[in-house]
């Protein structure tokens, strides 16, 4: 949805749905101190601007939930410049080791956060609040510029690994329309097991993926397998990356990213290869 089409009442609806599922009967006591009868820009000014230099715009409002106070409501661009949507950021991508006390309790909280995210975003779709799904509809309808088409005729296989179903589906649609074959997996464990069958020419992986292996875990194991040690590996993440991990990567994308940036990464790599 274009920014000019979003008004303050859209933000109010988004917050209302979020609090209803995150806090239940405690929703009223967790309303942010924002006057939603004001102009949209005044309301948006109460959000935290998380836009990184050179990246697409992203704004957040920390609303929390019953079990985790750091969950955020996000209003951002992604894939298409000037098209905005709402999302839930669980904000729980922490490096918690299995040896950490209460590790199982932490996994239970992450699972709870994931369920709340799914419920909120499903409720938004029912109420006409724009989500990533709406962006994907626009992506499907848009013409593909010649500059974004795969530069080789062999239809390379791209393995997409992301536990966010909408993001993974978005990558599949984008790449398929641009001359790539695509295999989607929602956890690194399944992707590793499928390597001999899928035989990817390139891998695009998320960093944090639920309770299982991270993208860094994935590429580390990949580099230890002689048959796949040279497979190009791109990491997409909204979080920071340990600099020591760069030796395993062929590149990384900062989320949210534009379609043009994604295709430039992949196409330039294939051309140079």
**Weakly modelled stretches of the chain, pLDDT under 70:** 54, 210-211, 239-246, 272-273
- On whether the pTM is more than 0.85, the answer is no
* pLDDT of res. 117: 95
Q: What's the CA gap between 159 and 186, in Å, rounded?
A: 11
Helix (H, G, I), strand (E, B) or coil at 56: coil
Question: How far apart (Å, rounded) are the C-alpha atoms in residues 137 and 44?
Answer: 25
Long-range pairs for 11-14: beta carbons < 8 A, 24 or more residues apart: 11/36, 11/40, 11/43, 11/44, 11/75, 12/36, 13/124, 13/127, 13/128, 13/129, 14/73, 14/75, 14/86, 14/124, 14/129
pLDDT in tens, 222-238: 999 999 998 999 998 87
What is the reported pLDDT for 258?
87
For residue 241, what pLDDT is reported? 61
Q: What are the CA-CA distances from residue 197 to residues 20, 145, 183, 190, 225 (Å)?
A: 44, 31, 10, 11, 15
Please give the pLDDT value at position 240: 63
Q: Is 27 exposed, middle or buried (0-12, 13-18, 19+ CB in 10 A)?
A: middle
- The answer to whether 46 and 63 are in contact (CB under 8 A) is no
Residue 242 is predicted with a pLDDT of: 60
Residue 193: the pLDDT is 95
Detail the DSSP E strand segments found in the chain. 48-49, 58-62, 72-78, 80-89, 157-161, 181-185, 202-206, 233-237, 251-254
């Amino acid at each position: 949805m274009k920014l000019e089409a979003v008004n303050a009442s859209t933000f109010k609806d988004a917050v209302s749905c979020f609090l209803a599922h995150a806090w239940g009967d405690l929703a009223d006591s967790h309303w942010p101190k924002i006057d939603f009868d004001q102009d949209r820009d005044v309301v948006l000014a109460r959000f935290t601007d998380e836009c990184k230099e050179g990246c697409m715009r992203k704004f957040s409002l920390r609303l929390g939930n019953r079990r985790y106070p750091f969950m955020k409501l996000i209003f951002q661009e992604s894939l298409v410049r000037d098209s905005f949507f709402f999302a839930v950021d669980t904000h729980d991508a922490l490096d918690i080791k299995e040896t950490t006390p209460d590790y199982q309790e932490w996994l239970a909280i992450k699972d709870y956060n994931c369920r709340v995210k799914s419920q909120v975003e499903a409720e938004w779709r029912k109420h006409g609040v724009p989500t990533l799904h709406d962006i994907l509809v626009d992506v499907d309808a848009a013409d593909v510029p010649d500059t974004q088409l795969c530069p080789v005729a062999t239809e390379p296989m791209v393995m997409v690994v992301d536990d966010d179903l909408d993001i993974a589906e978005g990558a599949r649609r984008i790449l398929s329309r641009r001359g790539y074959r695509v295999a989607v997996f929602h956890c690194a464990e399944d992707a590793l097991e499928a390597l001999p069958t899928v035989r990817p020419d390139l891998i695009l992986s998320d960093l944090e993926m639920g309770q299982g292996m991270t993208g860094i875990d994935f590429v580390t194991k990949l580099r230890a397998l002689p048959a796949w040690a040279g497979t190009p590996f791109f990491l997409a993440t909204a979080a920071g990356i340990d600099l020591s991990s760069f030796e395993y990567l062929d590149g990384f994308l900062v989320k949210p990213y534009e379609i043009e940036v994604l295709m430039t990464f992949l196409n330039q790599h294939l051309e140079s290869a």
